[in-house]
Amino acid sequence: MVLDIDVDYYLSPRDDVWQDPLALSAHLQHFRPTALTVAYSVQGGYTPVRHRYLGPLTVLALSEPALAQDLLEKFQSLQPTLVKEQPEWSREQPIWVQAAAAALSGDLERAASLESGYRVQPIDKVSAAMLRHQYPLARHHLQNVSDPLESHYMKGMLAFREQNFNLAADTWSEMLDRESLEPRTLIYLLIFCGRAFAAAGRDKEALERFQQAREVDSTDSEAAFLAARSLVALKQLSEAARLYRRAIRLAPSRLETAEIRLELAEVYLDLGQKGLAERLLQLTLRAELPGFMKLRAEALKLKSALGKRFESP
């Protein structure tokens, strides 16, 4: 058995530990992995750094559960304190245990000196706060991001998360106009900027950004798909249909293709091309789809049927 686990698995949406590695080991009962990988997401802000210990504790729980249980009880007894003093019991322990004990006691500086994985950059703090919808805290941490490029990008992302789409679009546009970015980063930012323009109802500017992304990489299915959406918003349905068809050819996954087909079917209906729409819906419904997609496909079939019923003889 192969076990691939992310430390975030143990955490609730509020960052509480809902299940510890010993409980997971007990659930596995007699199954023991022949290969084990543990992923950490401290960089980027997903995993609170104080929970990093859950990774090595998982490895220990699957090999020496009694020792893991003893350490877990000691970890659970620790609380952040004003006096930064290494717990006596951790002094002779392996480095990872000493680092975990320091972090759980609130001494992140010592933890980072012992193990580099505890070193959190300001941009990670901004990301962590945004992921938890703590926007005032994110703005506070943003003041400490020294890299101008990172700071500008995160300013736009913070505005986007707060649904201030105009500010996000304008912030990223300023960044795009003055920075020289490598192609993949450029496409990523162009698409995000286009999404912000679209959410703000600035469809022409959104289309321009999506088309710029397609100029950088003509095989990017997301850029083609989103450009088609903008064309629909701008009432350019024939051109939208052409781009939807191209996006279907480029799309890497069946699920993404199904979403594009549903939007294309609706465009066909609006163009009065019911035969094309119905064939596309039949093809889409043959695939395994999430429930909400099936409902949308059935709704479009009904729209097509009602349209036929009320056509003039």
CA distance 58 to 37: 10
pLDDT of residue 23: 93
**How is the chain split into domains, by residue range?**
1-120, 253-313
The residue among 250, 198, 197 whose CA lies nearest residue 220 is 250
User: What is the C-alpha to C-alpha distance for residues 41 and 45, in angstroms, rounded to an integer?
Assistant: 7
- Strand spans (E) along 16-83: 35-39
* CB distance 131 to 123 below 8 Å: no
Reduced to 3 states (helix: H, G, I; strand: E, B; else coil), residue 5 is strand
Contacts of 55 by beta carbon, 8 Å cutoff, 6+ apart: 7, 38, 40
Burial 250-266 (b: 16+ CB within 10 A, else e): bbeeeebbbbbbbbbbb
The pLDDT of residue 103 is 93
Nearest to 124 by CA among 49, 211, 199, 212: 49
Contact 53, 96 (CB under 8 A): yes
Over residues 290-310, mean pLDDT = 80
Q: How far apart are CA 108 and CA 48, in angstroms?
A: 12
- What are 83's two structure tokens? 């006096």
For residues 222 and 196, is the Cβ–Cβ distance under 8 A?
no
Q: How many CA atoms lie less than 13 Å away from 72 in the CB half-sphere? A: 20
Which pair of tokens denotes residue 117? 């994985």
Mean pLDDT over 58-70 rounds to 93
236, two tokens = 């350019």
| CA neighbor of 156 nearest in space, from 120, 188, 202 | 188
Q: What pLDDT, on the 0 to 100 scale, is given for residue 98? A: 96
User: Residue 216: pLDDT band by 50, 70, 90 thresholds?
Assistant: very high
Distinct helix (H) and strand (E) counts, the chain? 16, 2
Residues in Cβ contact with 164 at an 8 Å cutoff, skipping those fewer than 6 apart: none
Residue 249's pLDDT is 92
φ/ψ (deg, to 5) at 101: -65, -40
Q: Using an 8 Å Cβ cutoff, are 198 and 226 in contact?
A: yes
* R_g of the chain, CA atoms, integer Å: 26
pLDDT tens-place string over residues 137-150? 999 999 999 999 99
SS3 of 4, please? strand
Is residue 241 within 8 A of residue 224, CB to CB? The reply is no
- For 179, which DSSP code? -
Confidence category of residue 44, pLDDT binned at 50, 70, 90? low
Residues in the chain: 313
State the average pLDDT over residues 35-61. Answer: 84
User: Is the per-residue pLDDT at 50 higher than 80?
Assistant: yes
The pLDDT of 189-201, averaged and rounded, is 98
